[in-house]
């Protein structure tokens, strides 16, 4: 019986890790190029809504693609402001979060039950049925994505360019690399993965949109990036740890017997506290690109 | 870019180019930085580089040497004028355009990504596909270039693990990888005082192969020694171009400064017997935890300049840091005016009347993101009249900064608007000198105070030190320049591997004697 519980928590962990891993992997690309996007939370939230609407209009795959497109669009604005116009990244990121929170809250008033929009069952992504249980196919995507991005960053010349732009933009400039374009595309492509994460939440995993649906996952993804030290393979590990505690919290909330011993509110804090501890533990030991957050000016 | 090898030397991309032909030329080059500088940084400068020659550009700090180099390599845009590559007008919008027309530049602050290996740095600029890069192929080419140009470097080593000289070699190889016809080197000897001779040999052999080389320097001897032609810039203007064989040091000095300025330092003997600084058996560790000071003892009297000669990296930096409270002493004592200040805070030591002209002027001397005025009053801002209560006294700060800027001849654009980072190293040093000396401190620890300054600024600094000495200020002077130590010091100590190996009387010491001690004890 107890091993069945464990298995349930494990499957729950796999589902909960997907948005963290996708978002953090994308952010790893952007941060490698020197852009720090604190607006991931907003991108997840907004894409959850647009993804849900896309899925209802054209099916789950369209929904996920709309999420990616939403992430890319918001990421492009962020990239434009910070790469080409040399804006302040923190402010632009906060702007994205405020914009998304406002827009989603506004739209939710007009969609069915105010404040809560459920995605119809026929518009949601179908699980893979296996003898061991039902899995979302997005879990496979979430496991493959960091491996793909690791290969991109550390085994290709494009990756070398991205990292050079984040580490020493002047040297990259001298080498003839278009710094502004590399930064713009890195952050926009990174944001598309956050968009995919948002659409996954509404179209696949939870199946509904509320204005709290992102639940801090954008910030936890940022913490995961810190934990990983910009190594996408460690993002995989960090994402699973968070997913596990998230899943544990959900499990406790469904078990009145356990709740009598530990209040579920306390357990639901666990993912956030664990994040805090992990990040506090690695601060100062991981090395970030030297030019992170600094706009590039040649003259 | 096609990889073309030939046994006899470089195969010029246009085989019609012959030795002596002009391969790169700038005519009437002007450059302004609107909003930063009110005058033209370059004012109608003409310059040409011929195949097979070394052309040196000589000038003091702020003459515009680096700017012309950056323009010719495509790093900066030009405001007016025209660049010609092999006689055809070209428009360089980025370093990539420079590479396209065969211009490669070795920057003074090397353009290398530190956590990457030598080969990875080269792969960045190589024009192969975006997904795959043939590291083994690049490594092979690096070894080949290393051998051909006698610039040894391991392509697999990380830049941050290399010494300054090795990093420079990596940078030169990186530029050569693109098979340039023109090689521009911006103050290459500022990084590697020891390896300079080797570099000269390499450059001369490259010129013999047919490269055109533009060599930027502020050292007259160097310009004469290595250049076939010398172009002198002064405050952005083209003063003249001479054949090295038809000019000499005194003509170049005249061109550079417009006048003769001989240096002569006379002094009265130290009168006082009062000891200002006493260092007893001082021990300390270096940044990597290695032994840096192994028991240093000396005293500095009132109005005395105590010079420390020696090759840098023998504990001089640590000595100054321990005395100014920036580094922990593991043993021994520092006594200032009879009071023990061992391991006191830097603030305590400043209040004891110790000024510090630090070695790393950009990192330790100023806060680059702050304005000129803010940096000038950095140490004084707590007290009246620089502040009244909690508020800054802006009129007084402005007046004080203006005073220091004009007294030290620093070229700054706006006291309150422009960040200090845009200033040249020499101008930053002028501000630091002003800040550290205007109060006529009792003691100044000066580390490499004139390093990288032009001859005129060096002379001004020396005069200032002598005036302060006259009024009773004592100095601990650290310098790699033996002439400076000999010109200024009342006593000269030679420091080798964290120890003082000899102390000489400044008036009677012989250059050869000290030089021999530095060379033999090390």
Q: Mean pLDDT, chain B, as a whole number?
A: 86
Q: Do the bridges between strand B305-309 and strand B474-478 make them parallel or antiparallel, or are there none, so unpaired?
A: parallel
Q: Mean pLDDT, chain A, as a whole number?
A: 91
In a domain, A197, yes or no: yes
Q: How far is CA B290 from CA B294, B314, B318, in A?
A: 11, 12, 11
Chain A residue nearest residue B131, CA to CA: A156
Q: Do A163 and B113 touch (CB under 8 A)?
A: yes
Q: Which residues contact A132 (CB under 8 A, 6 or more apart)?
A: A7
Q: Label residue A71 by pLDDT band (50, 70, 90).
A: very high
Rg of chain B in Å (alpha carbons) = 25
Residues of A in contact with B110 (CB under 8 A): 171
* pLDDT in the model for residue B44: 93
A159: contact with B, CB 8 A cutoff: no
Q: How would you label A98-119 residue by residue, b for 16+ Cβ within 10 Å and e otherwise?
A: ebbbebbeebbeebeeeeebeb
In a domain, A295, yes or no: no
In tens, the pLDDT along A179-218 reads 999 999 999 999 999 999 999 999 999 999 999 999 999 9
Gap from A181 CA to chain B (nearest CA, Å): 14
Chain A residue nearest residue B171, CA to CA: A171
Q: What is the mean pLDDT of residues A127-154?
A: 93
* pLDDT in the model for residue B383: 83
In tens, the pLDDT along B136-152 reads 889 999 999 999 988 88
In a domain, A293, yes or no: no
In a domain, A17, yes or no: yes
Tell me which residue in A163, A174, A177 faces B75 most closely, judged by beta carbons.
A174
Angle CA A89–A44–A289, to nearest 5: 35
Please report the sign of the dihedral spanned by the C-alpha atoms of residue A282, residue A287, residue A290, residue A292.
negative
d(CA B469, CA B474): 6
What are the E-state strand segments in B261-375?
275-285, 291-301, 305-309, 329-336, 339-340, 354-357
In a domain, A230, yes or no: yes
Q: Is B192 left (phi over 0), alpha (psi -120 to 50) or beta?
A: beta
Residues of B in contact with A157 (CB under 8 A): 123-124, 126, 128-133
Residues 97-156 of A with CB under 8 A from B: 156
Q: Label residue A144 by pLDDT band (50, 70, 90).
A: very high
A160: contact with B, CB 8 A cutoff: yes
Chain B residue nearest residue A287, CA to CA: B115
Q: What is the mean pLDDT of residues A164-192?
A: 92
* pLDDT in the model for residue B521: 59
Q: Label residue A67 by pLDDT band (50, 70, 90).
A: very high
In a domain, A296, yes or no: no
Q: How would you label B202-227 residue by residue, b for 16+ Cβ within 10 Å and e otherwise?
A: bbeebbebbbbbbbbbbbbebbbebb
CB pairs under 8 A between A and B: 77
* pLDDT in the model for residue A200: 97
The encoded tokens of residue B222 equal 């160097």
- Provide φ and ψ at A234, rounded to 5°: -75, -25
Domain residue limits at A270: 2-282
Q: Which of A175, A180, A290 should one mutate to test binding to chain B, selecting the residue with the greatest count of B CBs within 10 A?
A: A175
Q: Following DSSP, what letter does each residue of B130-188 receive, concatenated?
A: SS---HHHHHHHHHHHHHHHT----TTSBGGGS-HHHHHHHHHHHHHHT--SEEEEESG
Q: Yes or no: say if A89 and A36 are a contact pair by the CB < 8 Å rule.
A: yes
Q: Yes or no: say if B266 and B507 are a contact pair by the CB < 8 Å rule.
A: no
- Provide φ and ψ at B43, rounded to 5°: -125, 95
Specify the number of domains making up chain A: 1
Q: Mark out the alpha helices in B408-452 (DSSP H runs).
A: 425-437
Tell me: ipTM over 0.85.
Answer: no
pLDDT beyond 80 at A137:
yes
The encoded tokens of residue B431 equal 């501000």
In a domain, A292, yes or no: no
* pLDDT in the model for residue B260: 41
Q: Yes or no: say if A139 and A18 are a contact pair by the CB < 8 Å rule.
A: yes
A179: contact with B, CB 8 A cutoff: no
The encoded tokens of residue A150 equal 């690791």
Q: What is the CATH number of the domain that holds A107?
A: 1.10.3470
The encoded tokens of residue B293 equal 């000071």
What are the E-state strand segments in chain A?
117-118, 128-130, 133-135, 208-209
In tens, the pLDDT along B192-243 reads 655 788 889 999 999 999 999 999 987 788 888 899 999 999 888 999 999 9
Q: How would you label A235-252 residue by residue, b for 16+ Cβ within 10 Å and e otherwise?
A: bbebbbbbbbbbbbbbbb
List the one residue out of B182, B215, B299, B274 whose CA is nearest residue B472.
Answer: B274
In a domain, A294, yes or no: no
Q: What is the mean pLDDT of residues A161-186?
A: 91
* pLDDT in the model for residue B9: 41
Residues of B in contact with A294 (CB under 8 A): none
In tens, the pLDDT along B459-490 reads 888 989 999 999 999 999 998 777 788 889 99
* pLDDT in the model for residue B36: 55
Q: Which residue stretches of chain B have pLDDT < 70?
A: 1-16, 34-39, 61-62, 127-130, 191-194, 257-264, 452, 519-522
Domains and CATH numbers, chain B: 21-102+214-260 (3.40.50.300), 274-353+441-522 (3.40.50.300), 363-440 (no CATH)
Q: Do the bridges between strand B474-478 and strand B443-447 make them parallel or antiparallel, or are there none, so unpaired?
A: parallel
């Amino acid at each position: 019986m107890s091993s069945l519980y464990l298995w349930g928590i494990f499957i729950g962990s796999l589902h909960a890790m997907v948005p963290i891993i996708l978002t953090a992997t994308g952010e790893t690309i952007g941060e490698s190029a020197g852009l720090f996007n604190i607006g991931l939370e907003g991108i997840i939230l907004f894409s959850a809504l647009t993804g849900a609407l896309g899925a209802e209009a054209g099916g789950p795959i369209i929904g996920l693609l709309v999420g990616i497109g939403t992430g890319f669009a918001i990421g492009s604005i962020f990239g434009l402001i910070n790469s080409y116009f040399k804006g302040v990244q923190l402010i632009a990121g906060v702007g994205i979060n405020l914009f998304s929170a406002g827009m989603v809250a506004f739209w939710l008033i007009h969609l069915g039950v105010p404040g809560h929009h459920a995605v119809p069952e026929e518009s949601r992504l179908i699980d893979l049925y296996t003898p061991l249980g039902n899995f979302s196919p997005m879990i496979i995507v979430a496991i493959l994505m960091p491996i793909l991005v690791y290969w991109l960053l550390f085994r290709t010349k494009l990756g070398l360019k991205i990292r050079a732009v984040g580490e020493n933009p002047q040297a990259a400039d001298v080498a003839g690399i278009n710094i502004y374009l590399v930064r713009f595309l890195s952050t926009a492509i990174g944001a598309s993965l956050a968009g995919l994460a948002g659409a996954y939440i509404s179209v696949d995993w939870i199946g509904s949109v509320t204005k709290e649906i992102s639940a801090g996952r954008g910030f936890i993804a940022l913490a995961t990036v810190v934990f990983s030290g910009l190594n996408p393979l460690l993002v995989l590990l960090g994402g699973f740890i968070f997913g596990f505690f998230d899943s544990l919290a959900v499990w406790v909330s469904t078990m009145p017997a356990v709740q009598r011993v530990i209040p579920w509110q306390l357990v639901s804090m666990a993912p956030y506290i664990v994040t805090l501890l992990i990040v506090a533990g690695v601060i100062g030991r991981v090395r970030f690109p030297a030019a992170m957050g600094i706009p590039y000016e040649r003259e | 870019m096609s990889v073309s090898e030939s046994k006899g030397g470089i195969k010029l991309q246009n085989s019609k180019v012959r030795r002596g032909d002009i391969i790169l030329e700038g005519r009437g080059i002007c450059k302004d930085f609107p909003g930063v500088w009110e005058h033209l940084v370059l004012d109608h400068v003409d310059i040409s580089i011929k195949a097979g020659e070394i052309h040196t550009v000589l000038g003091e700090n702020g003459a515009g040497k680096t700017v012309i180099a950056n323009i010719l390599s495509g790093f900066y845009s030009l405001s007016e004028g025209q660049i010609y590559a092999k006689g055809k007008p070209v428009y360089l919008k980025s370093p990539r355009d420079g590479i396209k027309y065969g211009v490669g530049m070795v920057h003074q602050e090397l353009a290398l990504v530190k956590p990457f290996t030598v080969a990875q740095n080269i792969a960045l600029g190589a024009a192969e596909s975006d997904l795959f890069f043939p590291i083994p192929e690049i490594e092979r080419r690096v070894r080949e270039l290393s051998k051909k140009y006698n610039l040894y470097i391991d392509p697999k080593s990380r830049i941050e693990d290399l010494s300054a000289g090795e990093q420079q070699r990596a940078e030169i190889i990186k530029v050569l990888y693109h098979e340039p016809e023109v090689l521009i080197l911006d103050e290459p000897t500022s990084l590697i005082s020891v390896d300079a001779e080797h570099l000269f040999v390499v450059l001369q052999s490259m010129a013999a192969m047919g490269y055109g080389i533009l060599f930027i320097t502020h050292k007259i001897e160097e310009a004469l020694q290595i250049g076939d032609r010398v172009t002198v810039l002064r405050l952005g203007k083209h003063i003249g171009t001479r054949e090295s064989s038809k000019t000499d040091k005194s003509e170049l000095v005249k061109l550079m400064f417009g006048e003769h300025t001989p240096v002569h330092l006379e002094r009265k003997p130290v009168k006082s017997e009062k000891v200002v600084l006493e260092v007893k058996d001082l021990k300390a560790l270096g940044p990597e935890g290695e032994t840096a000071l192994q028991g240093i003892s000396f005293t500095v009297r009132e109005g005395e300049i105590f010079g420390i000669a020696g090759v840098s990296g023998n504990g001089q930096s640590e000595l100054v840091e321990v005395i100014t409270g920036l580094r922990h002493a593991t043993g021994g004592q520092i006594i200032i005016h009879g009071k023990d200040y061992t391991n006191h805070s830097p603030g305590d030591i400043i209040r004891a009347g110790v000024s510090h002209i630090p070695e790393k002027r950009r990192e330790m001397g100023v806060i680059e993101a702050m304005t000129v005025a803010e940096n000038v009053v950095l140490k004084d801002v707590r007290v009246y009249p620089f502040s009244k209560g909690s508020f800054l006294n802006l009129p007084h700060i402005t007046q004080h900064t203006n005073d220091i800027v004009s007294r030290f001849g620093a070229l700054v654009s706006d006291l309150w608007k422009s960040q200090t980072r845009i200033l040249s190293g020499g101008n930053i040093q002028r501000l630091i000198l002003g800040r550290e000396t205007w109060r006529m401190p009792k003691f100044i620890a000066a580390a490499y105070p004139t390093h990288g300054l032009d001859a005129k600024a060096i002379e001004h600094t020396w005069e200032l030190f002598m005036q302060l000495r006259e009024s009773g200020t004592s100095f601990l002077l650290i310098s790699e320049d033996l002439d400076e130590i000999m010109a200024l010091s009342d006593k000269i100590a030679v420091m080798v591997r964290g120890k003082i190996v000899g102390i000489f009387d400044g008036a009677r010491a012989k250059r050869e004697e000290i030089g021999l001690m530095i060379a033999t004890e090390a």
